[in-house]
Amino acid sequence: MDSIVQSFNYDYYGFGYGYDVLFYAQEPEPIGDCYMFLLYLDNILYTDTITEVSFVDDEFVNGNYISDLLVYRINETDISDSVLVTLEIMSTTRNFYDFMYALMLETIWRGSPWDVPPADLPTM
């Protein structure tokens, strides 16, 4: 990771005004890397619930420079001009990534008429 940037988000998506946390880094080869991001505001974990954690794999960016990747959106009521914003990135295993993806599919990312029937989560 070489930098993060805060950008005012102007309520583009109807979630309220606030700041976007954008990520910049060179993603290493080979393909198959998985990452999890945690966000801290003034050294207090902001993403303290599993559904708030961001996780990605490198399927579409392998070996390329990543710029302007929106990792988090901070609500304007949670931030002021003097808040220290810290982004922690962790490398995870493919099994952990698959588990997190399946967990979100079975819980938060549900609700459309085209959802598949519920299923057991994969084990790590």
pLDDT in tens, 22-38: 999 999 988 889 999 99
* Mean pLDDT, residues 42-61 taken together: 91
How many angstroms separate the CA atoms of 25 and 35, rounded? 12
Q: What is the mean pLDDT of residues 54-80?
A: 87
- For residues 46-51, give the mean pLDDT: 90
Predicted pLDDT of residue 80? 76
What's the pLDDT band for 121 if we cut at 50, 70, 90?
A: confident
Domain count, the chain: 1
In a domain, 62, yes or no: yes
In a domain, 108, yes or no: no
Identify the DSSP state of 111.
-
What are the tens digits of pLDDT across the range 73-102? 888 777 777 888 899 999 999 999 999 988
Does 124 score more than 70 pLDDT? no
Cα separation of 73 and 7, whole Å? 9
Mean of the per-residue pLDDT values for the chain? 86
Domain residue limits at 36:
3-92
DSSP 45-102: ES--SGGG-EEEESTTTTTSEEEEEEEEEEEGGG--TTPPEEEEEEEE-HHHHHHHHH
Is the pLDDT reported for residue 57 higher than 70?
Answer: yes
